[in-house]
């Protein structure tokens, strides 16, 4: 009988047969896919399975199966590479998960040719510190359908074909996966050349638009994601998109379907698209948009007034005119335009509020809103050589914000800025885009004037991906 040594806290603890691998609280080190499968098959909560470094070709028809394995939130089953990035998995599949929960998959280099699916019957799956660059045959690289998934500190890179890096869906029907947490990932170099279908993140789909997902997408970096105008495509309700940085990318943040989403504290820099909005009851607050080729913020128009349960699929795919959207305390600097609307659809926004935003530019008109009757403008500050546009006279002040460039390239309020203590809003947030405390009366725009160092800055590659803290 072959025997293996298991380590507990770095000390040799047990010598067990290969059929007794990965009990709770043990660490099993394996050197082949067959041994890995045996260890997984008997793993219980708290087990840690380490696959020795190397390249492993997963045979067709024999994926690494995680079936009927259950950790707990406090003691998950962890399957990890010996060293981060030290194990490469090739072949049609890598891990295939079913009827399992609280599993951590960490440190692998994924080079498979099919989607990695986290199914609806497997909640609490975590993908962390992995490298994803799948073969062209894989349209979508990771699809989340189960509740409570966490996708953190991974890098997704170099996709040139149609499909998304990461999709959050749900079980069959119209429901969404609940509580997905997407944190400190690096999404870069998506170069699909089609008109659409190359989103780095697609959160939902039109048929699930009314499903509350409760997802949080935060502290992710997007660079050169040019596969779609929608870099973060939201097609579900009740989500938070915050503290992300999108740089040098065609894709922006688009609330394409769904209601009650919060877009807060994001940096969108030197890209093609900013923030575009459809649907109801969204909050757009504390975002900094600079160097966008198009408009910084687009408040859309609609082909339908409100989506509803039971509507036809054609109706559901239509653009829902924005109702009760609040756009406050954002800074828009030197974009193609500042805040604009759309006229290509017949239904205008209703009961929307645009207030306390700082809009600066030297190009085309700062505001161009074809539908005015459904929008309340208040206390915005405009500056630069660009024309005001058609913003109502009572909705803005033209005054110098005295913006000063920081070492990170972000322009913040300078001493004596007309934006200081000038906002009417004082309750939507507790801090500014830099993570500094706001005190009432707030300052207009995303930045609250301070001489202290920012708590948050635009993210760099060192802040995200497999090596991030």
Q: Is 309 part of any domain?
A: yes
Q: Is 172 part of any domain?
A: yes
Q: Is 288 part of any domain?
A: yes
Helix segments in 326-390, DSSP class H: none
> What CATH number did the domain enclosing 144 receive?
2.160.20.10
Question: For position 5, what pLDDT does the model report?
Answer: 32
Residue 120 near residue 171, CB atoms below 8 Å: yes
Task: Find all residues with CB under 8 Å of 286, minimum gap 6, and list them.
Answer: 264, 265, 329, 330, 429, 431, 432, 433, 446
Task: Find all residues with CB under 8 Å of 195, minimum gap 6, and list them.
Answer: none
Q: Is 42 part of any domain?
A: no
74-89: average pLDDT: 98
Q: How far apart are CA 165 and CA 182, in angstroms?
A: 12
Question: For position 192, what pLDDT does the model report?
Answer: 96
The model's pLDDT over 449-462, given as tens digits with 9 standing for 90+, comes to 999 999 999 999 99
- Does the pLDDT value for residue 231 go beyond 50? yes
Q: Is 27 part of any domain?
A: no
How many other C-beta atoms lie within 10 A of the C-beta of residue 7?
15
Between the CA of residue 330 and those of 150, 298, 381, 458, what are the distances in Å? 29, 13, 11, 15
Beta bridge partners of 428: none
The model's pLDDT over 398-426, given as tens digits with 9 standing for 90+, comes to 999 999 999 999 999 999 999 999 999 99
Q: Is 166 part of any domain?
A: yes
Range of the domain at 151: 115-395+455-463
- Does the pLDDT value for residue 64 go beyond 70? yes
Question: For position 19, what pLDDT does the model report?
Answer: 35
| pLDDT tier at 2, thresholds 50, 70, 90 | very low
Please state whether beta strands 181-183 and 150-152 pair in parallel, antiparallel, or not at all (unpaired).
parallel
Tokens of 418: 């007309």
Q: How far apart are CA 462 and CA 469, in angstroms?
A: 9
Q: How far apart are CA 117 and CA 307, in angstroms?
A: 29
| Structural domains counted in the chain | 1
Question: For position 12, what pLDDT does the model report?
Answer: 31
Q: Worst-scoring range by mean pLDDT, 2-11, 317-326, 384-393?
A: 2-11
The model's pLDDT over 132-150, given as tens digits with 9 standing for 90+, comes to 999 999 999 999 999 999 9
Write down the pTM of the prediction: 0.94
The model's pLDDT over 279-302, given as tens digits with 9 standing for 90+, comes to 999 999 999 999 999 999 999 999
360-380: average pLDDT: 96
Q: Is 153 part of any domain?
A: yes
pLDDT higher for 156 or 12?
Answer: 156
Name the E strands within 154-220.
Answer: 155-159, 166-168, 181-183, 186-190, 201-204, 216-218
Q: Is 181 part of any domain?
A: yes
Question: For position 281, what pLDDT does the model report?
Answer: 98
The model's pLDDT over 189-207, given as tens digits with 9 standing for 90+, comes to 999 998 889 999 999 999 8
């Amino acid at each position: 009988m072959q025997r293996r040594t298991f380590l507990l806290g770095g000390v040799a603890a047990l010598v067990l047969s290969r059929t007794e691998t990965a009990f709770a609280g043990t660490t099993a080190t394996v050197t082949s896919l067959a041994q890995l499968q045996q260890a997984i098959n008997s793993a219980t909560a708290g087990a840690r399975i380490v696959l020795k470094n190397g390249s492993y070709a997963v045979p067709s028809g024999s994926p690494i199966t995680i079936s009927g394995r259950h950790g707990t939130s406090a003691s998950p089953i962890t399957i990890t590479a010996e060293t981060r990035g030290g194990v490469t998995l090739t072949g049609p599949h890598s891990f295939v998960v079913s009827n399992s929960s609280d599993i951590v998959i960490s440190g692998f280099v994924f080079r498979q040719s099919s989607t990695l699916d986290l199914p609806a019957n497997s909640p609490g799956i975590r993908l962390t510190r992995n490298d994803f660059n799948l073969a062209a045959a894989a349209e979508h690289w990771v699809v989340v359908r189960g509740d409570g998934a966490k996708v953190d500190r991974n890098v997704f890179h170099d996709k040139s074909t149609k499909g998304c890096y990461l999709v959050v869906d749900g079980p069959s029907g119209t429901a969404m996966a609940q509580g997905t947490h997407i944190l400190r990932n690096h999404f870069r170099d998506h170069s699909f050349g089609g008109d659409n279908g190359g989103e780095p993140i697609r959160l939902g789909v039109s048929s699930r638009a009314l499903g509350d997902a409760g997802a949080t997408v935060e502290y992710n970096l997007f660079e050169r994601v040019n596969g779609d105008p929608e870099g973060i495509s939201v097609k579900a309700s009740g989500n938070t998109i915050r503290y992300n940085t999108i740089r040098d990318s065609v894709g922006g943040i688009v609330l394409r379907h769904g209601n009650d989403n919060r877009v807060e504290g994001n940096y969108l820099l030197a890209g093609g698209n900013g923030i575009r909005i459809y649907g109801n009851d969204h909050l757009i607050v504390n975002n900094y948009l600079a160097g966008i080729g198009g408009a910084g913020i687009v408040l859309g128009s609609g082909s339908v007034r409100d989506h509803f349960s039971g509507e036809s699929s054609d109706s559901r795919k239509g653009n829902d005119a924005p109702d009760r959207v609040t756009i406050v305390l954002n800074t828009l600097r030197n974009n193609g335009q500042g805040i604009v609307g759309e006229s290509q659809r017949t239904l205008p926004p209703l009961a929307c509020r645009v207030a306390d935003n700082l809009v600066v530019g030297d190009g085309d008109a700062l505001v161009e809103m074809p539908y005015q009757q459904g929008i309340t403008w208040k206390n915005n500050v405009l500056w630069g050589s660009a024309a005001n546009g058609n913003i109502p006279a009572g909705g803005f002040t033209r005054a110098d914000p005295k913006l000063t460039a920081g070492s990170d390239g972000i322009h913040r309020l300078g001493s004596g800025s007309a934006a200081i203590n000038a906002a009417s809003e004082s309750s939507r947030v507790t801090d500014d885009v830099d993570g500094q405390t706001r005190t009432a009366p707030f300052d207009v725009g995303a930045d609250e004037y301070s001489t202290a160092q920012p708590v948050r800055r635009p993210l760099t590659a060192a802040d995200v991906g497999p090596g991030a803290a």
